[in-house]
Homo-oligomer: A and B are copies of this chain.
Amino acid sequence: MYPKMPGRARRSAAGQVTLSDVAAHVGVSSITVSRALRTPEKVSEALRARIEEAVQTLGYRPNHAARALASARSHTVVVLVPSLANEVFVDTLSGIYETLHPKGYQILIGNTRYNTEEEERLLSAYLAHNPDGILITGFDHTPAVEAQLANSRCPVVHMMELDERKERLCVGFSQFECGKAMTRHLLDKGYTRIGFMAVQGDARTLKRWEGYRAAMQEAGLYDETREIYVPDSSSVGLGAQLTAQLLERAPDLDALFCCNDDLAYGALFHCQRQQISVPGRLAIGGFNDLAASAWTVPSLTSIATPRHEIGQRAATMFLQQLDGQIAPGTAYDVGFELVARESS
């Protein structure tokens, strides 16, 4: 048996320097130290200096749990995203972090893995932290999650999509219009046998898919045999495999709209390997405009989504609701941009 960890013997163990330790050191009451730390302007300058010094020398560290318990504010915000292996959500998180960190908020990241049940479990667990706010991806949740959000007594901001019911705080863009925009771009370029590749089947993917369908139907060119879908999670390899499958089934395809850039890279690689010229024989469009999309050969036509801004905005909207500075049901549309490159 090796040395156990401190055992956390009991009673925070020897270690912890507390507010009253600092207070004793300075010769004031602990509440004064508390004030000197949180609202320095309410403490006389002389005292403040002595307190700060004592904090330094004693190495005092505030105790988050005690603060949360006493103040009923955890300074914690829960963020639920479907994936971390996706540049999109990493960028969103960094926007959130940048905005919330300076305000003293901790972020509790929940990775739902594109699974609403997992989301439910995560939310339940995280609610025990009494978050001051919840930033959640999309509107597609289990009834239990909806109920928890409603009862959470803290601001909830939905990210990535816009609420058609205009009842919930949200920031995002129209996934449907994105799907339409890319499809129209391909139609405008003269392609007529345009396929669609989808995976994962989350709500946002499905909306893009609807956008594709709407545009194809409007053009009188819709043909469901040019669509391919599997529920698996997205990857470059899967993109390559599905491209092969789809081309077998619909050999006359002249363009392919992939529901995200990873799949599109896979499509590109497949074509390269099979000597299928892009865009000569097959045009390819992606979605999200990941950092690498400008560098592939040929470079990838995609739709740029301002996810970093979505993160910043979602965090800001949370702060605003905390202060009553925002109307309930506010929907913030960040828009999107089609980036035409060599692959189309």
Q: Establish whether residues A66 and B64, one from each chain, have CB atoms under 8 Å apart when the complex forms.
A: no
- In the docked arrangement, what's the CA distance between A87 and B86, Å? 9
Interface code A244-268, partner B: CB below 8 Å = 1, 0 otherwise? 0000000000000000001001100
Which B residues are CB-close (under 8 A) to A85? Answer: 87, 90-91
- In the docked arrangement, what's the CA distance between A61 and B62, Å? 25
Q: Establish whether residues B72 and A323, one from each chain, have CB atoms under 8 Å apart when the complex forms.
A: no
Which B residues are CB-close (under 8 A) to A61? Answer: 124, 127-128
Interface code A202-225, partner B: CB below 8 Å = 1, 0 otherwise? 000000000000000000000000
Most buried by B among A4, A65, A272: A65
Q: Establish whether residues B84 and A90, one from each chain, have CB atoms under 8 Å apart when the complex forms.
A: yes
Query: What residue in chain B is nearest A324 (Cβ atoms)?
Result: B4
Q: Establish whether residues B322 and A295, one from each chain, have CB atoms under 8 Å apart when the complex forms.
A: no
Q: How many residues of A contact B (CB 8 A)?
A: 71
Q: Establish whether residues B8 and A73, one from each chain, have CB atoms under 8 Å apart when the complex forms.
A: yes
Q: Which of A42-50, A105-113, A176-184 lies at the interface with chain B?
A: A105-113
- What are 28 A-B contacts defined by CB distance under 8 Å? A2-B326, A3-B324, A4-B323, A5-B154, A5-B322, A5-B324, A8-B72, A11-B72, A13-B72, A13-B153, A59-B151, A61-B124, A61-B127, A64-B68, A64-B130, A65-B66, A65-B68, A65-B69, A65-B129, A69-B69, A84-B84, A108-B108, A236-B291, A236-B295, A237-B292, A240-B295, A265-B295, A266-B295
Q: Would you list which residues of chain A between 79 and 104 have a CB under 8 Å from chain B?
A: 84-85, 87, 90-91, 93-94, 97
Query: What residue in chain B is nearest A87 (Cβ atoms)?
Result: B85
Interface code A118-129, partner B: CB below 8 Å = 1, 0 otherwise? 000000110111
Given contacts A237-B295, A262-B292, 13 further A-B contacts (CB under 8 A): A2-B321, A2-B327, A3-B328, A4-B323, A5-B155, A13-B153, A59-B151, A65-B74, A65-B129, A85-B91, A106-B125, A108-B108, A235-B292
Q: Establish whether residues B324 and A1, one from each chain, have CB atoms under 8 Å apart when the complex forms.
A: yes
Q: Is A39 an interface residue (CB 8 A)?
A: no
Q: Is A296 an interface residue (CB 8 A)?
A: yes
Q: Which of B11, B15, B59 contacts A153 (CB 8 A)?
A: B15
- In the docked arrangement, what's the CA distance between A270 and B322, Å? 49
Query: What residue in chain B is nearest A292 (Cβ atoms)?
Result: B236
Q: Would you list which residues of chain A between 287 and 325 have a CB under 8 Å from chain B?
A: 291-292, 294-297, 321-325
Most buried by B among A10, A97, A151, A269: A269
Q: Is A57 an interface residue (CB 8 A)?
A: no
Q: Establish whether residues B291 and A269, one from each chain, have CB atoms under 8 Å apart when the complex forms.
A: no
Which B residues are CB-close (under 8 A) to A108? Answer: 106, 108
Query: What residue in chain B is nearest A237 (Cβ atoms)?
Result: B295
Which B residues are CB-close (under 8 A) to A296? Answer: 269
Give the top 9 A-B pairs by smallest Cβ distance, nearest first: A65-B68, A4-B324, A236-B292, A272-B297, A65-B69, A64-B128, A65-B65, A6-B153, A12-B72
